Amino acid sequence: MSVLVITGTDTGVGKTVVSAAIAALAVEHGHRVAVLKPAQTGVGDDDPGDLDVVRAHAGQVTGRELRRYPDPLAPETAARRSGISPVTPAEVAEAAGDLEQSHDLVLIEGAGGLLVRFDERGGSLADVAWSLGALVVIVARAGLGTLNATALTAEVATRRGLNVAGVIIGAWPATPGVADVCNLTDLPTAAGAPLLGVLEDGIAGLEREAFLAAAGRGLSPWFGGKFDPELFAENLAAPM
């Protein structure tokens, strides 16, 4: 598990929080962690980005951002509009390989979904994962519509020869509806891979220690946490 690719079923599903949570637990267990953000969009030169969020919650991690584009668009489009050179899968893979030599865990956080284009040739996060032989973690929404998006992402990953490690719900609502609860069972089927975590909505606003505790509750032992999907579902069903 030296390199993990963190992708989403869409934008705004909680990829950065998931990256921060995985990194925080790994650091807590004494691992050297690096987080690679190939393309950060929608931020200015001096604005905080996703890596700043990860550092704030995980502490001592190495962060590397390859490109930063001001427009909140897909990386290829943002690169074209800004005149800044696009990032390529080969460049991302090279950076990940460099980081892997001096770190126990390298997390590569994509922008949007698995096939969002980095460059004019259609290079994407899927190409990065394939070239590195890295496991893919899918970050999904909790509610209605997530099953189709998750199944599409997993099917594309499988057809491209990628290995999906599992799916994580990036923001679990304080008051879940029936679709949210049912998806705890159905998401692993859609992904063809286990449910590896459910992170509470709003934990990005917590201080570091509280965030670490939430990460431990919400992530599988595979990441060093305590999350048990069956027990989580049982607790939701238990009478108050």
Cα–Cα distance for residue pair 189/111, rounded to 1 Å? 25
Cα–Cα distance for residue pair 41/214, rounded to 1 Å? 28
Sign of CA dihedral 162, 165, 166, 169: negative
Query: Which position among 37, 67, 103, 117 bears the catalytic label?
Result: 37
**How does DSSP classify residue 174?**
S
Torsion of CA 205, 209, 212, 216, to 10 degrees: -120
Q: Is there a catalytic annotation at residue 37?
A: yes
Q: Which residue has the tokens 């080969």?
A: 90
Do 92 and 43 form a contact (C-beta atoms < 8 A)? no
Q: How many CA atoms lie within 13 A of 15 on its CB side?
A: 27
* First CA to last CA distance, the chain: 39
Sign of CA dihedral 232, 233, 238, 240: positive
- List the one residue out of 222, 217, 144 whose CA is nearest residue 187: 144
Cite the active site residues: 37
